[in-house]
Structure 1
Amino acid sequence: MNSENEKFLPVSPEDLAERNIKEVDFVFVSGDAYVDHASFAAAILGRLLEHNGYTVAILPQPDWHSTEDFKKFGRPKLGFLVSAGAMDSMVSNYTANNKPRSEDDYSHGGEKGHRPDRALVTYVQKIRESFKGVNVIIGGIEASLRRTSHYDYWSNTVKKSVLLDSKADLLIYGMGEHAILEIASQLKSGKTAREIRDVRGTCWYTGKESELPEKDFIMLPSYEEVSKNTIESKETFAKSFLIQEQNTDALNGKTLVEKADSRFVVQNPASLPLSQEEMDGLYKLPFTRKWHPMYDRKNSQGKSGVPALSEVKFSLTSCRGCYGACSFCAITFHQGRRIQSRSHESLIEEAKVMTEDADFKGYIHDVGGPTANFRKDACKFQKERGACQNKDCLGVNPCKNVEVSHKDYVELLQKLRALPKVKKVFIRSGIRFDYLMMDKDRTFFYELCKHHISGQLKVAPEHVSDSVLKLMRKSTHKVYEEFSAEYARINKELGLKQYLVPYYIAGHPGAGLKEALETALYLKKTGFVPDQVQDFYPTPGSLATCMYYTGFNPHEKKADGHLAEVYVARGGRERRLQRALLQFNRKENKPLVIEALKSIGRMDALKILY
Structure 2
Amino acid sequence: MFPPATKKQMQDMGWDGLDVILVTGDAYVDVPHMGAAVIANVLMDAGFRTGVIAQPDMDDGADIARLGEPELFWGVTGGCMDSMVANYTASGKKRKSDDLTAGGQNTRRPDRAVIAYTNLIRRHFKNTRPIVLGGMEASLRRISHYDFKTNKVRRSILFDAKADVLVYGMGEKTVTELARRLQNGQDFTDLRGICYAAAQKPEGFLELPSHARAAADKDAFVEMFAGFYKNTDPVKARGLCQLQDTRYLVCNPPQLPLIQQEIDRIHELGYRRRAHPVHAEQGKVRALDTIAFSIISHRGCYGECHFCAITALQGKTVISRSRPSILREAESLARHPDFKGVISDVGGPTANMYAIECRKKATHGACIRKRCLGDRVCPELAVDHGPQIRLLKDLRKISGIKHVFIGSGIRHDLILADSQNGQAYLEQIISHHVSGQLKIAPEHSENHLLALMGKPDIDITRQFIRRFRKTAQRLGRKYYLTGYFLAAYPGSTQKDMEAVKDFCTREMGFAPEQVQIFTPVPATVATLMYWTKKTWPGKNPLFVETDPRRKQAQKQILTPAARTAKPKKPQ
- TM-score range normalised by the length of the shorter chain: over 0.9
Shift of 1:48: 1.0
Distance 1:349-1:363 versus aligned 2 partners, 3 A rule: same
Q: Which structure's CA Rg is the greater one?
A: 1
Q: Which residue of 2 aligns with 1:115?
A: 109
Shift of 1:565: 2.3
Instruction: State whether residues 226 and 237 of structure 1, in contact with CA within 8 Å, keep that contact through their aligned partners in structure 2.
Output: yes
Q: Which residue of 1 aligns with 2:363?
A: 384
Find the residue that maps to 1:391 and give its secondary structure: coil
> After the TM superposition, which segments of 4 or more aligned residues of structure 1 sit over 3 Å from their partners?
none
Give distance in 1, aligned partners of 2:103 and 2:440. Answer: 29
The answer to whether structure 1 residue 402 and structure 2 residue 390 are counterparts is no
Aligned to 1:590, which of 558, 563, 569? 563
Give distance in 2, aligned partners of 1:447 and 1:283. Answer: 25
Aligned pairs for 1:399-548 within 5 A: 399-441=378-420, 442-526=423-507, 527-548=509-530
Find the residue that maps to 1:43 and give its secondary structure: helix
Instruction: State whether residues 338 and 377 of structure 1, in contact with CA within 8 Å, keep that contact through their aligned partners in structure 2.
Output: no
Give distance in 1, aligned partners of 2:570 and 2:157. Answer: 41
Gapped regions of structure 1 (runs ≥ 5): 1-6, 557-562, 601-610
Give distance in 1, aligned partners of 2:551 and 2:316. Answer: 31
Find the residue that maps to 1:237 and give its secondary structure: helix
Aligned to 1:10, which of 4, 17, 25? 4
Task: Name the aligned partner's letter for residue 513 of structure 2.
Answer: D
Q: Which residue of 1 aligns with 2:547?
A: 571
The answer to whether structure 1 residue 149 and structure 2 residue 144 are counterparts is yes
Aligned to 2:168, which of 166, 173, 189? 173
Give distance in 1, aligned partners of 2:431 and 2:9. Answer: 49
Q: Which residue of 1 aligns with 2:258?
A: 274
The answer to whether structure 1 residue 363 and structure 2 residue 342 are counterparts is yes
Q: Which residue of 2 aligns with 1:227?
A: 215
Instruction: State whether residues 377 and 383 of structure 1, in contact with CA within 8 Å, keep that contact through their aligned partners in structure 2.
Output: no
What is the CA deviation profile of residues 223-270 of structure 1, one whole-angstrom value per residue up to 9, with x for unaligned ones?
111112xxxx11221232122111111100110111112110011111
Instruction: State whether residues 323 and 394 of structure 1, in contact with CA within 8 Å, keep that contact through their aligned partners in structure 2.
Output: yes
The answer to whether structure 1 residue 241 and structure 2 residue 225 are counterparts is yes
Shift of 1:46: 0.9
Shift of 1:599: 5.2
Find the residue that maps to 1:29 and give its secondary structure: strand
Shift of 1:381: 0.9
Shift of 1:131: 1.9
Distance 1:311-1:470 versus aligned 2 partners, 3 A rule: same
Task: Name the aligned partner's letter for residue 221 of structure 1.
Answer: P
Gapped regions of structure 2 (runs ≥ 5): none
Give distance in 2, aligned partners of 1:359 and 1:22. Answer: 33
What is the CA deviation profile of residues 86-111 of structure 1, one whole-angstrom value per residue up to 9, with x for unaligned ones?
11111111111111111111111212
Give distance in 1, aligned partners of 2:564 and 2:68. Answer: 60
Give distance in 2, aligned partners of 1:11 and 1:91. Answer: 27
Find the residue that maps to 2:11 and give its secondary structure: helix
The answer to whether structure 1 residue 353 and structure 2 residue 341 are counterparts is no
Shift of 1:65: 1.8
Task: Name the aligned partner's letter for residue 301 of structure 2.
Answer: C
Instruction: State whether residues 238 and 554 of structure 1, in contact with CA within 8 Å, keep that contact through their aligned partners in structure 2.
Output: no
Task: Name the aligned partner's letter for residue 227 of structure 2.
Answer: I
Shift of 1:577: 2.2
Aligned pairs for 1:130-145 within 5 A: 130-133=124-127, 134-145=129-140
Q: Which residue of 1 aligns with 2:191?
A: 199
Give distance in 2, aligned partners of 1:349 and 1:20. Answer: 30
Instruction: State whether residues 246 and 390 of structure 1, in contact with CA within 8 Å, keep that contact through their aligned partners in structure 2.
Output: no
Give distance in 1, aligned partners of 2:267 and 2:376. Answer: 36
Instruction: State whether residues 550 and 570 of structure 2, in contact with CA within 8 Å, keep that contact through their aligned partners in structure 1.
Output: no
Instruction: State whether residues 61 and 124 of structure 2, in contact with CA within 8 Å, keep that contact through their aligned partners in structure 1.
Output: yes
The answer to whether structure 1 residue 185 and structure 2 residue 180 are counterparts is yes
Q: Percent identity?
A: 38
Give distance in 2, aligned partners of 1:457 and 1:338. Answer: 26
Aligned to 1:100, which of 94, 101, 112? 94
Q: Which residue of 1 aligns with 2:39?
A: 45
Give distance in 1, aligned partners of 2:19 and 2:109. Answer: 24
Q: Which range moves more in the overlay, 14-23 or 472-481?
A: 14-23
Give distance in 2, aligned partners of 1:14 and 1:358. Answer: 26
Find the residue that maps to 2:537 and give its secondary structure: strand
Instruction: State whether residues 2 and 30 of structure 2, in contact with CA within 8 Å, keep that contact through their aligned partners in structure 1.
Output: yes
Instruction: State whether residues 197 and 250 of structure 2, in contact with CA within 8 Å, keep that contact through their aligned partners in structure 1.
Output: yes
**TM norm structure 2:** 0.97
Shift of 1:533: 1.4
Find the residue that maps to 1:68 and give its secondary structure: helix
Q: How many residues align?
A: 567
Find the residue that maps to 2:142 and give its secondary structure: coil
What is the CA deviation profile of residues 525-561 of structure 1, one whole-angstrom value per residue up to 9, with x for unaligned ones?
23421123111011112111111111122312xxxxx
Task: Name the aligned partner's letter for residue 467 of structure 1.
Answer: H
Give distance in 2, aligned partners of 1:311 and 1:260. Answer: 41
Task: Name the aligned partner's letter for residue 578 of structure 1.
Answer: Q
Task: Name the aligned partner's letter for residue 43 of structure 1.
Answer: A
Give distance in 2, aligned partners of 1:425 and 1:470. Answer: 34
The answer to whether structure 1 residue 338 and structure 2 residue 317 are counterparts is yes
Aligned to 2:72, which of 73, 78, 91? 78
Task: Name the aligned partner's letter for residue 110 of structure 2.
Answer: P
What is the CA deviation profile of residues 399-444 of structure 1, one whole-angstrom value per residue up to 9, with x for unaligned ones?
2212111011111111001111222211110101111111113111
Instruction: State whether residues 55 and 109 of structure 2, in contact with CA within 8 Å, keep that contact through their aligned partners in structure 1.
Output: yes
Task: Name the aligned partner's letter for residue 399 of structure 2.
Answer: P
RMSD over aligned CA atoms reads 1.5
Instruction: State whether residues 356 and 383 of structure 2, in contact with CA within 8 Å, keep that contact through their aligned partners in structure 1.
Output: no
Shift of 1:176: 0.3
What is the CA deviation profile of residues 261-299 of structure 1, one whole-angstrom value per residue up to 9, with x for unaligned ones?
2110011111110111001111221321211123232x4
Shift of 1:377: 5.1
**TM norm structure 1:** 0.91
